[in-house]
């Protein structure tokens, strides 16, 4: 009985001694409570089977990552540039590995440095998805549900975050890197990554099931018009007509639903703008990628934490008029800036381009009228429609079809008013002929109508060949094997 009591006392004494032990990490960087937990965890892992090696790595990484972030935050270096952060992370890990005998082999130690650098300046577990050129959208519905869109189709991935806190930390770092803030008082953020990808994030209670993160990727380079044509978005005749229209300073709106390729199409068509012209672009998140050398890019700004400093697209459109632009390109009209855009088109800024969310050209006109009213100016509906018809020449409707392929659904010209109704005439359209192996087949056809703007373009020394509008110029959609092999093109 006495031996059994002595044994119990020895075990209790050993446990107490272990609980009071600490890891000798860099003294000013680690709190004693976390060191105690880490020490107990490492002691357990060291006595485990060989499969415990990965568990040891995960434990070390989690503890060190938490302490690294606390250290950077205390020193106010969390928003430092990437080069400086890389050096700080490397120094921290080097000191920790030299001070304590961590249960890691050489490859794991190197991996630890790489992972902590990525966790600190990158997007953590999402890094492999962002490195995949076939991924066009990344959708995170909480820490354990991550989906991507590849080739126009959504699919689940094996990517996981540790917990809600891990995901929130990644979201907060993305926001902090561009000077935004997301927390309980401001639970939504719309931001842009350095590569141009758009990011939207939400926190509870806005999303009741947990934090979410949506990333819309735009690739390392934009798709050019010849690549879009090979992808089956339009025909050579349609492209040539739109190029003539842009060179002839025709005002154009690109209409379509979310993810239909409006911005990509607009960037491709802007290739036709002469390099001698001064272009001013206005966007909520800078997406347009232009070739021209004389481009001024402007971006809206949300309010700061005090609710001050907001700059909306309307402010930028008004300011752009004072910047001696040859062309004004608004990435997307969403509200009252539609009025200023129409006024610019009607007062000498010909050749302006913009996009709008709408399911058809006629819906685009109706939405445009609604957005003009959002400017707070009480105008009669007929006056708004007359101004829109006078300002806008061409509406290009783009659509992402059920097979995931983006196509130009129609190209229409605004020809005037009949009563109170704007009149549209189609110049080109896509005619679907059904599906073959889940792929939509069809052809692009010219309606045979020669648009009124042809005469006006000829007055500007832009001679548009009439044969582009012959009804025999329709072209069937291309097969998948005819598409370009470039990863960026295939993902789009």
Residue 19's pLDDT is what?
40
**CATH number of the 225-491 domain:** 3.40.50.300
Residue 388 is predicted with a pLDDT of 94
- Classify 299 as helix, strand or coil: strand
| pLDDT at res. 52 | 39
How much is the pLDDT for 444?
95
The whole-number pLDDT of residue 201 equals 94
The CA distance from 262 to 134, in Å, is 19
d(CA 46, CA 192): 43
What pLDDT, on a 0 to 100 scale, did the predictor assign at position 130? 78
Assigned CATH for 126-216: 3.30.450.90
| pLDDT score for 60 | 77
Q: What is the pLDDT of residue 452?
A: 92
pLDDT at 257: 92
Q: CA separation (Å) from 207 to 9, 159, 256, 345?
A: 52, 21, 27, 40
Q: What is the pLDDT of residues 135-149, one digit of tens each?
A: 889 999 999 999 999
Of 432, 407, 473, 398, nearest to 232 by C-alpha is 407
Domain boundaries, the chain: 21-110, 126-216, 225-491
User: What values do phi and psi take at 303, rounded to 5?
Assistant: -65, 155
Rounded Cα distance, 331 and 458, in Å: 28
pLDDT in tens, 119-129: 666 677 887 78
Give the strand pairing for 327-330 and 353-357: parallel
Whole-structure pTM value:
0.70
Q: Tell me, what's the pLDDT at 191?
A: 76
User: Which residues, given as ranges, of the chain have pLDDT below 70?
Assistant: 1-56, 73, 76, 78-82, 101, 118-122, 178, 194-195, 219-221, 305, 472-492
Pairing of strands 394-400, 353-357: unpaired
């Amino acid at each position: 009985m006495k031996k059994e009591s002595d044994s119990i006392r020895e075990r209790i004494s050993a446990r107490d001694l272990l609980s009071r032990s600490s890891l000798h990490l860099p003294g000013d960087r680690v709190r004693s409570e976390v060191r105690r937990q880490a020490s107990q965890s490492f002691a357990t892992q060291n006595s485990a089977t060989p499969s415990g090696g990965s568990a040891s790595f995960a434990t070390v990484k989690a503890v060190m990552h938490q302490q690294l972030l606390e250290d950077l935050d205390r020193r106010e270096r969390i928003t430092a540039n990437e080069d400086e952060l890389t050096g700080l992370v490397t120094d921290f890990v080097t000191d920790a590995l030299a001070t304590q005998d961590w249960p890691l082999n050489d490859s794991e130690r190197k991996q630890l440095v790489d992972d902590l650098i990525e966790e600190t300046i990158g997007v953590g577990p999402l890094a492999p998805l962002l490195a995949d050129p076939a991924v066009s959208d990344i959708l995170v519905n909480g820490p354990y549900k991550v989906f991507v869109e590849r080739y126009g189709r959504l699919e689940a991935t094996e990517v996981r975050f540790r917990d809600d806190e891990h995901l929130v930390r990644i979201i907060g770092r993305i926001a902090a890197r561009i000077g935004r803030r997301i927390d309980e008082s401001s639970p939504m953020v719309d931001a842009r990554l350095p590569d141009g990808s758009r990011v939207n994030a939400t926190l509870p209670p806005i999303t009741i099931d947990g934090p979410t993160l949506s990333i819309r990727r735009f690739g390392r380079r934009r798709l050019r018009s010849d690549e879009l044509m090979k992808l089956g978005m339009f025909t050579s005749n349609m492209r040539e007509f739109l190029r003539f229209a842009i060179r002839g300073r025709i005002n154009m709106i690109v209409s379509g639903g979310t993810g239909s390729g409006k911005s990509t199409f607009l960037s491709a068509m802007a290739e036709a703008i002469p390099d001698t012209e001064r272009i001013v672009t206005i966007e909520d998140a800078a997406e347009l990628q232009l070739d021209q050398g004389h481009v001024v890019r402007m971006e809206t700004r949300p309010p700061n934490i005090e609710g001050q400093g907001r700059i909306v697209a309307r402010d930028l459109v008004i300011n752009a008029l004072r910047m001696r632009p040859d062309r004004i390109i608004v990435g997307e009209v969403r509200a009252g800036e539609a009025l200023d855009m129409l006024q610019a088109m009607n007062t000498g800024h010909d050749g302006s381009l913009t996009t709008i969310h709408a399911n058809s050209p006629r819906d685009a006109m109706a939405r445009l009228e609604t957005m003009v009213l959002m400017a707070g100016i009480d105008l009669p509906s007929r006056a708004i429609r007359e101004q829109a018809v006078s300002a806008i020449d061409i509406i290009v409707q783009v659509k992402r079809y059920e097979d995931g392929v983006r196509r130009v659904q129609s190209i229409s010209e605004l020809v005037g008013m009949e009563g109170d109704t704007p009149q549209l005439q189609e110049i080109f359209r896509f005619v679907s002929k059904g599906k073959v192996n889940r792929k939509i087949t069809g052809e692009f056809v010219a309606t045979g109508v020669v648009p009124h703007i042809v005469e006006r373009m000829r007055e500007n020394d832009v001679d548009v060949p009439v044969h582009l509008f012959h009804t025999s110029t329709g072209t069937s959609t291309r097969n998948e094997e005819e598409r370009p092999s470039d990863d960026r093109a295939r993902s789009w």
